[in-house]
Structure 1
Amino acid sequence: MISNHPPYKTIFFILCFFLTLSSCSDNSEGENPVLPGQISWKTASSVTADAGSATLSISGTTGVKWTAEITAGASWCSFVSNDFTGSGQTVHGEVKDGLNILYLYYAANTDSEERTAAISFTFDGETEPHILSLKQVAAGQSVLPDFEGGYAETPAHKQDANYIYVTHYVKLDNRNVRNYSLCFDKTKKAALWVAYPLHKAYTSGDAGRVEDWNFDPSFESSFQPELFRSYKNSNNNSYDRGHQIPSADRQATDEMNRQTFYFSNMTPQLGQLNQKMWGKLEAKVRTYNCEDTLYVVTGAYFANTSTTTYDGAGNLVPVPTNYFKVLLRTKSGKTGKYVSDCTASELKAIGFWVDQKSYGNVEPPRSICTSVADIEQKTGFTFFPTIPDAVKQDYNPTDWNIN
C-alpha cells in the first residue's frame, strides 16, 4: 500500500509554514470585509487502520485568515507529525497564492471498532465553522473508497448503523487489486449487495473451488452466520450456501477464490434455484466479459423476514425473498476508456430481478430482465452513480443474448 506520509523535507517545510503563519497578526481593522473560503478533503475522508496523513485543500481570497481545530479525535489526530499529545490540536494560517493544503496526521487504529475525528475550520468573516469528519476503519478492515473517484461498480453509500462496508483486496501480478466490496446488514446476517469487476484477469486461472469456508476476517464473527456446515433444512426447504460473487468468477489465484467463501458472501438460497436457473445466469454473465471491464453488483433483498432458517450452528437467520444482479459495460467492449468517461450512447446496462423460487433447469428468461433504475427503486440503493441516468433507465435483453 502506498504510504500517505509526505516526504520528510515536505513535512519540515509545512511545519515551518505553520509556525510562520501562527506569528502573523490577526489585526484586520480598517480592511475591506474578507470573503469566506472553502475547505474540502483533497484525499479521501475514509482512511485505513494504518498510521498516515490525510490532506485538506483550502481555497479562498488571498489573505483570508483561518483557524483549524480538531474537536474530536485529538488523541489520535494531529496537525503536527507524530505528536498526539494535544499540542497539535489547533493551527492558524491564511490563504496564499497557489496551492493551499493542510495535512492531518493520524495514528494507527489497533482496536476492533472504527473511529471518527472531527475538524472545525473557520475563515475570518464567517459566523459558522466548516465541520469535516475523518473516519478510520477498524484494525484489519479495508476502506471502501469514497464515491467520488471510487470504483465504477460501487453503489452509493447509505448511512445506517447496521451496515458494515468492506472491500477485500488480493495480490495479482505483484499488485494489490480489489477483489470485491460488500454492504453487510447485521440484522439480516447477510450482504445486501456485493460489487465487483469482471474481466479475464479474474477468471483466467485454475484456482478451482478452494472450499475454504470461513468467517470474513474484516468484522466481528458474531454478526455473521456460522456456515462451516450448510443451512439446516427448514419448512421442507433445502437451502444452499449461495454465493453472491460466484467462486467461478474468481479463478486467477487461490487467495482470490478463497475470499468468495467468506460467510459474509453467503445467503440461504434454495438449492433448486442456486443449482439451476441462478447458476445458468451466473454462467451467462461470465460470457459478457470484454476487453473493457464488466461491472457487476449482485444482491439479496428482504421484502419481509417472515421466512427463516438456521445456520450451521442452529442460529435463526432470515431468508431473502429476492435476488438481483445489475450489469454495466461498454457496448463495443473495447473502448479502452473508463465508463465514467463514456457517453450514454457508448454504454449499456441491464438488471435481473429473481424470486426465491424454483424456475426449473432453464436458461435465464426474459421475465427476470428489467432496468437498473427499476432495481434502484425496489431496493433503495443507487447503482453505478457516475453514469448518466438514461443508461440505467434503458435495457434490451437481446443485447445481452437473453431470448
Structure 2
Amino acid sequence: MRLLNSYYKATLKFLLLTVFISCIAACSNDDSNGGDSSQSGEAYWKISSTVKSASGSSAIIITGTPGTIWNAEITEGTTWCSFSSNDLTLSSKSGEVKDGLNVLYVYYNSNTSKEQRVAKISIQFADQEAKVFDLVQLSESQQNLPAFKLWAEVPDFKENANYQYVTHYALLNDKTIRNYSICFDKTKKAALWVAYPIHTAYLKGSGERTDRWAFDPIIPQSYQADCTLKSYGGSYDRGHQLPSADRLGTDEMNAQTFYMSNMTPQLNRLNQDMWAKLETKVRANNCSDTLYVVTGAYFGAGATTTTDGAKNTVPVPTNYFKVLLRTKSGKTGKNIKDCSDSELISIGFWVDHKSYGNIEPPKSICTSVADIESKTGFTFFPQVSSSVKKQNNPSQWGIN
C-alpha cells in the first residue's frame, strides 16, 4: 500500500511539473512572437506597371500572413486614378490579407494628353514600411521607343511602315529600369528581334514564372496573335524570344515576358529541347559587365502558317537566331562603347526551325554576328566595330 501511495505521489508531482513547464513555454512563446509582429505582406503588379492611354484597370496582387492589415493610398494622380470604378474620388482603401487571391484594383481614366503621366500608390502592411508603386499611363501617340544608339543591345533603327518599336520597363528596387525592347512586325504578328541585357539583377530575385499570358499593352491588339488562353495550333508552343527564366528579378519583369509580342509559334521539340539548352548556355555567360543579347525570328522563303489560340492564321518562322556581346573578362567596369576591340567578344547562333533532338547546342548553329546581319538585314550592336562582329569562337561561349 505504501508503495502504491508513493507511486501516485510521484505521478502527481510529474504531472504538475509538466503543466508548469508547458505554461512557462506558452508564456515564452507569446512574448517572443510579440502578438501581431509576425504579420507581414507583399504586393506586386499582376501584369505591368505600364498601361495604355485608354481607360481601364490594373491589378495589384496582395499576399502575406492571413489577418495582416493593409492600407493603400493614391498619393499622386488622384485626378485620374481611383480604387473604385464608380467613385473616382476614392483614393484610399484598407483591408486584411485573406486566404486565397487578394486583388487591389486601380482604375484610371483615358489619357488624351500628349504626355505620359504617373500615379503613385502607397501600400503599407501592419507596421512595415510603406512601399510605393508607380502606375505609368502612356499618351495616345506614345510608343515607348528604345534608346537607339544609347543601349548596347539595341540594333539600329530600320524604317518600315509595318514595324513598331517598343521598350518595356519594370520596377526593380524602387527604380524604373528597361526590361527589353522589340521590333514588332505587324504583318507577321511577331517580333523580328527582341533585345535585352542579362545581369544577375534580372536573373535572380523575388520573381518566379508567372504564366500571365497577356496582350502587349502598347501594340494594337489586332496585330498580335491571340494565345492568351491557349497555344498555337498543331505542334507549336508559345515560344518566348526573351525567356521567362531570364527575368526572375521580379514578378513584373517575368509577367512582361508573357506578352504576345514576345511569342512566336515554335515547334515544341525545338522549344523544349535544343533551344532550351541554348538559352541555358546564354545565361551561363552572364557577367558583371552585363551580357547583351538579341533573339530573333526570321521568316524566309517557304514560310508556312498555323493558327493562334483564337483560330486566326499566323505565319511560322523558318529560322531563329541569337547574337551575343560582352566583355572578354566580364569585369572591366566599362561601357561597351568605351572598350577596345580586344576587350570584346561576340557570337551568333542561326537555328533552323526543326527538331534537333534533345541535344546540347551543336557547333553547326554557331556563326558570326556579321553573318546574321547579312541574313536578316539588321545591324546589331552598332557601338562596336565590324571586326568584333566577325568573331566566331564557340569554345569561348561554352560550346564544344
Q: Same fold (TM over 0.5)?
A: yes
After superposition, give the CA deviation of every residue in 1:53-110 in whole Å (9 maximum; x if it has no partner). xxxxxxxxxxxxxxxxxxxxxxxxxxxxxxxxxxxxxxxxxxxxxxxxxxxxxx9427
Which of 257, 269, 272 matches 2:266?
269
Q: CA deviation at 1:231?
A: 3.5
Larger % of helix: which? 2
Give the AA of the match of 1:275. Q
Which of 268, 282, 287 matches 2:284?
287
Gaps of 5+ in 2: 1-51, 54-111, 117-137
Give the AA of the match of 1:192. L
Give the AA of the match of 1:161. A
Identify if the C-alpha distance between structure 1 residues 221 and 312 changes in structure 2 by more than 3 Å, giving closer, same or farther: same
Trace 1:32-181 onto structure 2 (pairs within 5 A).
108-109=113-114, 138-139=140-141, 141-147=143-149, 150-181=150-181
Give me the whole-angstrom Cα distance separating, in 2, the residues matched to 1:299 and 1:194.
Answer: 6
After superposition, give the CA deviation of every residue in 1:134-181 in whole Å (9 maximum; x if it has no partner). xx974563132232xx10000001000000000000111111100000
Q: CA deviation at 1:401?
A: 1.1
Give me the whole-angstrom Cα distance separating, in 2, the residues matched to 1:402 and 1:327.
Answer: 13
Q: CA deviation at 1:219?
A: 1.7
| Structure 2 partner of 1:352 | 349
Q: CA deviation at 1:232?
A: 3.9
| Structure 2 partner of 1:301 | 298
Give me the whole-angstrom Cα distance separating, in 1, the residues matched to 2:206 and 2:175.
Answer: 19
Gaps of 5+ in 1: 1-48, 51-106, 112-135
Aligned-residue RMSD, C-alpha: 1.9
Identify if the C-alpha distance between structure 1 residues 187 and 273 changes in structure 2 by more than 3 Å, giving closer, same or farther: same
| Structure 2 partner of 1:246 | 243
| Structure 1 partner of 2:393 | 396
Larger Rg: 2
After superposition, give the CA deviation of every residue in 1:243-292 in whole Å (9 maximum; x if it has no partner). 00000000010100000000000000000000000000001100001111
Give me the whole-angstrom Cα distance separating, in 2, the residues matched to 1:352 and 1:306.
Answer: 20
After superposition, give the CA deviation of every residue in 1:24-53 in whole Å (9 maximum; x if it has no partner). xxxxxxxxxxxxxxxxxxxxxxxxx99xxx
Give the AA of the match of 1:217. P
Q: State the SS of the aligned residue for 2:170.
A: strand
Give the AA of the match of 1:173. N
Asked whether the equivalents of residues 162 and 185 of structure 2 are also in contact (C-alpha less than 8 Å), the reply is yes
Q: CA deviation at 1:233?
A: 3.1
Asked whether the equivalents of residues 115 and 139 of structure 2 are also in contact (C-alpha less than 8 Å), the reply is no
TM-score by length of 1: 0.65
Asked whether the equivalents of residues 140 and 217 of structure 1 are also in contact (C-alpha less than 8 Å), the reply is no
Asked whether the equivalents of residues 346 and 392 of structure 2 are also in contact (C-alpha less than 8 Å), the reply is yes
Residue 213 in structure 1 maps to residue 210 in structure 2: no
Give me the whole-angstrom Cα distance separating, in 1, the residues matched to 2:348 and 2:287.
Answer: 18
Q: State the SS of the aligned residue for 2:257.
A: helix
Residue 311 in structure 1 maps to residue 308 in structure 2: yes
Give me the whole-angstrom Cα distance separating, in 2, the residues matched to 1:229 and 1:393.
Answer: 42
Q: CA deviation at 1:207?
A: 1.5
Give the AA of the match of 1:174. D
Give me the whole-angstrom Cα distance separating, in 2, the residues matched to 1:292 and 1:110.
Answer: 34
TM-score by length of 2: 0.65
Asked whether the equivalents of residues 230 and 240 of structure 1 are also in contact (C-alpha less than 8 Å), the reply is no
Q: State the SS of the aligned residue for 2:332.
A: coil
Give me the whole-angstrom Cα distance separating, in 2, the residues matched to 1:138 and 1:144.
Answer: 18
Give the AA of the match of 1:370. T
Residue 329 in structure 1 maps to residue 326 in structure 2: yes
Asked whether the equivalents of residues 305 and 320 of structure 1 are also in contact (C-alpha less than 8 Å), the reply is no
Residue 259 in structure 1 maps to residue 261 in structure 2: no
Identify if the C-alpha distance between structure 1 residues 186 and 290 changes in structure 2 by more than 3 Å, giving closer, same or farther: same
Q: Equivalent pairs: percent with the same residue?
A: 62
Asked whether the equivalents of residues 232 and 238 of structure 2 are also in contact (C-alpha less than 8 Å), the reply is no
Give the AA of the match of 2:114. N
Asked whether the equivalents of residues 266 and 353 of structure 2 are also in contact (C-alpha less than 8 Å), the reply is yes
After superposition, give the CA deviation of every residue in 1:178-210 in whole Å (9 maximum; x if it has no partner). 000000000000000000000000001242110
Residue 338 in structure 1 maps to residue 343 in structure 2: no
| Structure 1 partner of 2:228 | 228
Give me the whole-angstrom Cα distance separating, in 2, the residues matched to 1:294 and 1:308.
Answer: 34
Asked whether the equivalents of residues 305 and 319 of structure 1 are also in contact (C-alpha less than 8 Å), the reply is no
